[in-house]
Amino acid sequence: MAYVAMARKWRPQSFDDMVGQEHIAKTLQNAIEGGRLHHAFLFTGTRGVGKTTSARILARTLNCTGGDPLHPCGQCESCKDILGGNPMDVFEIDAASNTGVDNIRDVIERVQYPPVIGKYKIFILDEVHMLTSGAFNALLKTLEEPPEHVIFIFATTEVNKVPQTILSRVQRFDFKRLTVEQIRSRLRYICEQEGINATDEALDIFAEKADGSMRDGLTYFDQAYAFTGNEMNADAVRSVLGIPPVELFFTLISAIESHDLKECFKMVDDACKRGIEFTPLLDGFGKFLRNLLYARLDAFSPDALNISEELYTKYKSCALELKNGDILRISKMLIDLQATLRYSTNPRLLVETTFARMAWLDRLTDLRRALAAINDPSKANASDEALKKKVTEVQNMLDAEEEAKALRQREESPFAALQQDFAGGYNGDIYSRYEISAAWGAIKTHIADSGDFAFSVALNDTVLETIDLKATPFPIALTYLGDTASDAWGIKQMEEHPEYMERLKQILEEKLQTPVLLTLKTRAFNETELQIRKQAQMSPYELDLEKEPYLAKLKDLFRAELIYSHKLNRPVVPQQAESCDADGDENS
């Protein structure tokens, strides 16, 4: 038996079948009943929402000679003629491939002659915005004074490209995108009629992927049906449509939780091998994070989230090491990634490094732990090998971070303007608590670029000092440096303008994704600072070295010295003279 695509087989045959466009069906039916019919219609809306189908229904309804003015009978000569596929009174023209004046002359020619069977001669022009301006002009005269027996139905996805002269002569109908619910219930109906046994979850996948277009929904349904037959379940549907299964995200979140970079990369590889593209992968992860958070907060029932009890419980009990704040922070990084991805020349690397960065953020605690171990001789002596391994691991993480950062900067530059949406002019970077002091220079630059001169100048000669890396709210002291710091202009500004402190607090909270306790402090330059101040600019390395005693310890341990540093917003681990790998030439 020849297989007829569902999209064709279940195409609506009357206004009553038109899902989601009831407002249009109603208006058209009223006009027909009241005999107040316009001679030109414009159907506009996104693809696959039923514009052409509605045009055909309207044509059939108008020309039917059966008794019911609103429902084509399917029996009369006109109905049969139209169903036959080569109707004498209804002309469908694809304006996308017939754009020129000659094509329109042909239409105008035919307009002169009365209909053969039905009451009207009906011209359906699809994608009408594609016509040339010459063609539009040729059409205009006919539109101004059309013969009684002629009706035009224009359809377009891009109404803004249709000239005003045309728009003012048509009755316009705006077709709505369909909701997930509307598409799902139509599919449910089709399944019932066709004897297809589909799970709710499977139908939801089509409805969500269809993104408002019934035609797309039916096309996906067809694709899956060809593969699954009458037994349709969610797993099979996902596999056919390249939609990531939720297990993939449970793997990813636990890799992030346990700081397992390798598993993050493996997950991306796994997704690629399954033929899943990055856009659905990231969309899927976003939805996963949302469900995870909702389940944890008991904000919605499994029903409301459209997931099973079992899955709901799994959400609740997974990645417990990650706090809700962490999940929000990961979500923010994901949103940034989605915005950046389509500009990327190497999307895979971007996705991988962002996932790695997600896993790396909290690993900073481990870095401190590792360095603390170095600080504690009893632990350090226990296993030199393990220690070296740990240090190499730290180095690798820092490299991954550097790569991610450099990549991000490159990716962000072409559309820096878009980033202005974040936090009132500050870009979307999120820092860990450990990074915030080192990032202060970059943040100040953003503030200066935002154009608030007084606020920006008031922050001169300041550093951020963090007291307790674990406390919440996170204590940060905005510290003014200088011998007579208490007389400094900047600190007076901050004291006199409480709104500056409030703004700074907001910026830091946005950067850290955590509540901040901001205080003001002054102190004289210490020896290191005085020394560094001699240089034009303090290097991030020295800044870190100064405020992170463990880093100095690490430096001592390997008898390393700084021979070269360049500007990066992360600490550069100095090259080790003897036992580390000797092929690094970056510090030459």
Give residue 483's Cα distance to chain centre: 50
Q: Report the residue number, 71 or 323, with the smaller CB distance to Zn ion.
A: 71
Interface residues with Zn ion (CB under 5 A)? Answer: 64, 66, 72-73, 76, 79
Please state the closest distance from residue 315 (CB atom) to Zn ion, in A: 54
Kindly state the smallest distance separating residue 237's Cβ from Zn ion, in Å: 39
CA dist., res. 586 & res. 588, Å (int)? 6
Residue with token string 């239409």: 107
Cβ 87 to Zn ion shortest distance, Å: 12
Cβ contacts of 192 within 8 Å, gap of 6 or more: none
Smallest gap from residue 84 Cβ to Zn ion (A): 12
Dihedral sign computed on CA atoms, order 517, 354, 208, 296: negative
Of residues 77 and 468, the one with the C-beta less far from Zn ion: 77
CB of 58 to Zn ion, least distance (A): 13
Nearer to Zn ion, 77 or 384 (CB): 77
Pick between residue 66 and residue 425 the one whose CB is nearest to Zn ion: 66
Determine the distance from the C-alpha atom of residue 8 to the mean position of all C-alpha atoms in its chain, rounded to a whole number: 32
Closer residue to Zn ion in complex, CB, 40/62: 62
Measured from the CB atom, the residue of 69 and 584 that comes closer to Zn ion is 69
CB-nearer residue toward Zn ion: 17 or 94 = 17
Given the complex with Zn ion, which of 73 and 568 has the nearer CB atom?
Answer: 73
Sheet holding 171-174, edge to edge: 90-94, 121-126, 150-156, 40-44, 171-174
Closest CB to Zn ion among 70 and 423? 70
For residue 429, the number of C-alpha atoms closer than 13 Å in the C-beta half-sphere is 25
Annotate 507-564 with DSSP letters as a single string: HHHHHHTS-EEEEEEEE---HHHHHHHHSSS--HHHHHHHH-HHHHHHHHHTT-----
Q: Between residues 79 and 248, which has the closer beta carbon with respect to Zn ion?
A: 79
What would the two tokens of residue 91 be? 């002309």
Nearest approach, Cβ of residue 107 and Zn ion (Å) = 25
Q: How far is the CB of 76 from Zn ion (least distance, A)?
A: 3
Q: Which of 262, 261, 201, 194 is nearest to 229 (CA)?
A: 194
Do residues 299 and 313 lie in contact, with contact meaning Cβ atoms separated by under 8 Å?
no
15 — phi, psi (to 5°)? -55, -30
Edge-to-edge, what's the strand order for the sheet holding 462-466? 462-466, 474-481, 516-523
What is the closest distance, in whole angstroms, from the C-beta atom of residue 340 to Zn ion in the complex?
A: 56
- Closest contact distance (angstroms) between CB of 16 and Zn ion is 15
Cis peptide before 146 (omega within 30 of 0): no
The CB-of-64 to Zn ion minimum distance in angstroms stands at 3
The least CB distance from residue 70 to Zn ion, in Å, is 12
Query: How many Å apart are CA 487 and CA 61, to the nearest integer?
Result: 86
Distances 308 to 151, 196, 240, 492 between C-alpha atoms, Å? 52, 22, 22, 59
- Which is nearer to Zn ion, 37 or 73 (by Cβ)? 73
Joined together, the tokens standing for residue 529 give: 């600072």
DSSP H helices, 85-179, are: 101-111, 133-144, 164-167
Residue type, 547: K
Please answer whether residues 259 and 363 qualify as being in contact, where contact means their C-beta atoms are separated by less than 8 angstroms.
Answer: yes
Minimum CB–partner distance for residue 414 and Zn ion (Å): 57
Beta-carbon contacts of residue 280 (< 8 Å; ≥ 6 apart): 242, 243, 244
CB nearer to Zn ion: pick between 76 and 464? 76
Distance CA 576, CA 588 (A): 12
* Separation in Å, CA 489 to CA 446, 461, 485, 530: 21, 10, 9, 20
Residue placing its CB nearer to Zn ion in the complex, 72 or 284: 72
Residue 158 and residue 155: Cα distance in Å, rounded?
9
Q: In Å, how far from its chain's centre is CA 7?
A: 29
CB of 28 to Zn ion, least distance (A): 17
Smallest separation (angstroms) from Zn ion to the CB of 147: 23
For Zn ion, the closer of residues 70 and 562 by Cβ is 70
At residue 257, φ and ψ (nearest 5 deg) are -60, -40
